[in-house]
Structure 1
Amino acid sequence: MPSFDIVSEVDKQEVRNAVDQVNKEVSTRFDFKGSDARVEQTDYQLTIFADDEFKLEQVLDILRTKLTKRNVDVRCLDKGVMEKISGNKVKQTVTVKTGVETELAKKIIKHIKDSKLKVQASIQGDVVRVLGAKKDVLQEAIQLIKKTENGYPLQFQNFRD
């Protein structure tokens, strides 16, 4: 039976490369001269340090630019709360979301069922598997999901006959 998986994945190495580029650019830019602005990465958790809120936003903007150039969808970034460290210095954690969350998976399944397509969708961990009798129906399901879910980066993998 033909099937495909709906996933949300981010290449960790591309994120690491983008973080390295951000740190390199921040260290060479004139407007950051003498500042302690940097980005640290732990797995899919990024911590941005800066001297003040304005510089923090600038570093975040540079990070978005570098991620975009490396084909990492910036919609997967989940900004945390900005915290003051000492004096004027601030930090902010940014989480790189991977996997289809349960709430989003339920929403995708609801869209598929409401469309009356002859496919079955099921949640399997952080993946949504869609089964159908024909490839054409599965391709219609992909088009439907692309139209309805544009606030979260989704990929379609393991298309099988």
Structure 2
Amino acid sequence: MPTFDIVSEVDKQDLRNAVDQINKVITGRFDFKGSDSRVDQAEYVLTIYADDNFKLEQIFDIVNQTFGKRNIDVSCLDKGKVDKISGDKVKQTVTVKTGVETELAKKIVKLIKDSKLKVQASIQGEAVRVTGAKRDLLQETITLVKKSITDFPLQFQNFRD
């Protein structure tokens, strides 16, 4: 039986390369000369340090541009609250969401069942596995999910005949 998985992943190496590129851009920009602005990464958590809120927003614009160039979907970013460090200096944690959350997985399964396609969808940890009798049905399911779920980045992997 043909199957595939619906997942949401960000390649850790691509993320590290993007953060390195962001820090290079920050050090090269004239408006950041002499400031302690940078982006640190720990696994899937980014910490943005800046001298003030304006520079924090400027860095987030650089993050959006760099992620866009590297095909990392910015809708997977979850901004945390802005914390004051000392004086005007601020930091913000940004979490990179990976895995299909339970609520979204249930929404996807319900969408597939309501479509009356002859496929079965089941939640497997942080992924949704779809099984069908024919490859064409699975391709229709992929098209349906792509059209319906646009607010969260999804990938379709592990396609097996």
- Count residues in correspondence: 161
Instruction: Tell me the TM-score normalized by structure 2.
Output: 0.98
CA distance in 1, matches of 2:43, 2:158: 25
State the alpha-carbon separation in 2 of the partners of residues 129 and 21 from structure 1. 35
What's the CA shift for 1:69? 1.0
Q: Structure 1 residue 68: deviation in Å?
A: 1.3
Displacement of 1:52 in angstroms is 0.6
Q: Specify the alignment match of 1:120 in structure 2.
A: 120
Cα distance between partner residues in 1 of 2:79 and 2:47: 10
Whole-angstrom distance in 2 between the partners of 1:58 and 1:129: 40
Aligned match of 1:82: 82
Please show how residues 100-115 of structure 1 align to structure 2 within 5 Å: 100-115=100-115
1:145 partner SS: helix
- How many angstroms apart in 2 are the aligned matches of 1:158 and 1:16? 25
Give secondary structure in 2 for the equivalent of 1:79. Answer: strand
Letter aligned with residue 107 of structure 1 = K
Structure 1 Cα separation of the partners of residues 146 and 26 of structure 2: 36
Q: How does 1:86-97 map to 2 (within 5 A)?
A: 86-97=86-97
Which of 26-35 and 40-49 deviates more? Answer: 26-35
Give the structure 2 partner of residue 20 of structure 1: 20
Cα RMSD (Å): 0.7
In structure 1, C-alpha distance between the alignment counterparts of 2:139 and 2:23, rounded to whole Å: 42
Shift of 1:24: 1.1
Give secondary structure in 2 for the equivalent of 1:152: coil
Query: Percent identity over the alignment?
Result: 73
**Structure 1 stretches lacking a partner, 5+ long:** none
| Unaligned residue ranges in structure 2 (runs of 5+) | none
Amino acid corresponding to residue 64 of structure 2 in structure 1: R
